[in-house]
């Protein structure tokens, strides 16, 4: 049986009816990795939508971190900006690559490689042509974007036209986020290839171990109760049980378990 709030959802190859749980834990090397926040939502709520409620709850408990490591599902431009401005939390995690076909096939003509003059409200393409229109508007999600269009005369006879646009006659058009969002994504895409950034972000892998532990020890994947509220209570009790186990290990100097590898993977490491 399912509660009225249970929803059907799908993520890659996994399909289920129920809810989602989001766990936040401490990942400092000099302290036990205690779970500090449990967020339970309906299955159809996106990951990026829970970042603000999580930070709000952590703030109420005086447990806000300076840095919060999150995977790509949480790192929207809005969350990168608002987490810093509203809670003084730096969200660390990769952002999605630009989804355009130009970025995949002809990256020199991706939107991020156009020069943007915010003061003059013009864009300059890689061939040096200047845009003729600049229109602030809102996207389907209500976020601020800017629609930019280049002059037909400049695009019509451009030698690189087929790499820049698929339109038969229309000139190149760009839709970019408003300045704050645009710069947040552009800076993070540049930053996330830095070895220092990757070194910090790799600590996030610990939360995957936490989810695995909760599944194996406490049956986290199966809700024992009907409804969102009772399921959330189950998730809180599961987190409390893991915290007691971790605190006991910490006080008794029991080290963290090493990463498990399949037998096939172990052969590779043994060979190396």
pLDDT digits (tens, 9 = 90+) for 178-223: 999 999 999 999 999 899 999 999 999 889 889 999 998 888 888 8
Encode pLDDT of 150-180 as tens digits. 999 999 989 999 999 999 999 999 999 999 9
Helix (H) / strand (E) element for 268: namely: helix 263-271
Tell me how far apart the alpha carbons of residues 268 and 266 are, in angstroms, rounded to a whole number.
5
> Residue 74: which of 238, 204, 228 has the closest Cα?
204
Contact between 103 and 110 (Cβ < 8 Å) = yes
Do you know the residue count of the chain? 272
Write down the mean pLDDT value for the chain: 91
Q: Hey, where are the domains in the chain?
A: 7-95+193-267, 101-179
Helix (H, G, I), strand (E, B) or coil at 174: strand
Specify the pLDDT at position 3: 58
> Whole-angstrom Cα distance, residue 138 to residue 147?
10
Quick one: pLDDT at residue 271? 53
Domain 7-95+193-267, second-level architecture = 2-Layer Sandwich (3.30)
What's the whole-model pTM score?
0.84
Contacts of 15 (CB under 8 A, 6+ apart): 8, 9
Other Cβ atoms within 10 Å of 53 Cβ, number: 14
């Amino acid at each position: 049986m399912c509660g009225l709030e249970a929803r059907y959802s799908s993520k890659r190859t996994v399909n289920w009816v129920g809810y989602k749980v989001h766990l936040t834990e401490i990942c400092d090397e000099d302290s036990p990795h205690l779970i500090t926040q449990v967020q339970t939502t309906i299955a159809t709520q996106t990951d990026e939508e829970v970042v603000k409620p999580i930070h709000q709850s952590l703030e109420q408990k005086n447990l806000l971190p300076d840095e919060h490591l999150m995977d790509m599902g949480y790192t929207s431009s809005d969350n990168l900006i608002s987490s810093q401005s509203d809670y003084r939390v730096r969200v660390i995690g990769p952002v999605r690559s630009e989804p355009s076909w130009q970025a995949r096939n002809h990256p020199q003509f991706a939107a991020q490689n156009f020069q943007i003059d915010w003061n003059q409200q013009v864009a300059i393409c890689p061939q040096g042509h200047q845009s003729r229109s600049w229109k602030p508007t809102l996207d389907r999600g209500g976020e601020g974007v800017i629609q930019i269009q280049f002059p037909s005369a400049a695009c019509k006879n451009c030698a690189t036209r087929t790499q820049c646009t698929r339109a038969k006659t229309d000139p190149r058009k760009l839709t970019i986020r408003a300045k704050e969002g645009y710069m947040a994504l552009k800076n993070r895409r540049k930053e996330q290839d830095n070895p220092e950034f990757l070194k910090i972000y790799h600590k996030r892998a610990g939360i995957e171990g936490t989810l695995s532990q909760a599944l194996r020890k406490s049956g986290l994947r199966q809700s024992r109760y009907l409804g969102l509220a009772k399921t959330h209570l189950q998730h809180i009790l599961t987190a409390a049980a893991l915290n007691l186990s971790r605190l006991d290990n910490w006080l008794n100097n029991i080290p963290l378990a090493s990463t498990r590898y399949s037998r096939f993977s172990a052969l590779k490491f043994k060979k190396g």
